[in-house]
Amino acid sequence: MKSSLSTNIGSLSLERPTVLASGILGISLDVFKRLHNAGAGAVVTKSLSKEPWEGYPNPTIFSVKGGGWINAVGLSNPGAETFAKMIEPNTDVPIIVSLVGSIEDDFEYMIKKFKKCNISAYELNLSCPHVAKVGLEIGDDIELVSKIIKRVKSVTDIPIIAKVGLGKSDYLQTVEAAVSSGVDAITAINTVRAMAIDVETQMPILSNKIGGLSGTPIKPIALRCVYEIASKFDIPIMGCGGISSWEDAVEFILAGASVVQFGSVMGDHWVETFSEINSGIQNYMERKGYETIGEMVGRAKRQ
């Protein structure tokens, strides 16, 4: 029997467990359609704010040794209302809308703008490491995390996913606040605070000085976080951070993730990435005798 790649993240059902991570390929609906046709189970949009944000001036991204990237784009985006108009009428592509804000009202306002859109889920960005007054500053405020999720859950029946990262506080406290407030799933993790300095100019390379490290260097950290969350909480998890192969994806699933997100791995041949990783996962499942993704989820913590 051929193994099935279908999976669930709470009440959200996906045909495949591989998802485009937020912030990688912008908000182009045409690109989203190509990715879905190429094997992506869903796509997460670039984080959207209540009002349009310009972001930071260049340079905003820097390649580091070991296959990683440090970026501080500044969450540039056209605003939630503009993007909502872009995806009307409804599309068949499973879209997870990433939202960023600083207070409960911001998130409620944005969700109301998507009332007429066919949204699969919302991912609340509570962990951007390089934008003040949003992201990690929100994730570190446990009381505010709870208030935001409760408010969001009160205005929509669409699944809500909280994206957590490594801030000043224990990230598991953020997860606990999200879970106790009724969140449907957790994405772990976001990029990790980092920087680079040009030894000739003796200045930070990024215009914002501090950015977020992504790619293969953070994979062991992200994998550890997924394992810890799965061990402590009964909550669906989207694993994210440094996935560059089907083996990486399988590791995250064995650690406790029902779905994996990736983006830094996609270079010039980004369209083929999803099909290659999906095929690798399926071949592994058939070799090991797994019929469903669910049978694999969390196997590492049950040994």
The set of catalytic residues is 128
- Torsion of Cα atoms, 162 then 163 then 164 then 165, to 10°: -170
What is the CA 158 to chain-centroid distance, rounded? 17
Q: How far apart are CA 211 and CA 12, in angstroms?
A: 32
Sheet bearing 68-71, strands edge to edge: 61-64, 68-71, 211-215, 192-194
For 91, counting Cβ atoms within 10 Å of its Cβ (0-12 exposed, 13-18 middle, 19+ buried), the class is middle
Q: How far apart are CA 45 and CA 113, in angstroms?
A: 15
Residue 53 DSSP label = B
Q: How far apart are CA 98 and CA 33, in angstroms?
A: 17
- Residue 108 has a CB neighbour count (10 Å cut-off) of 17
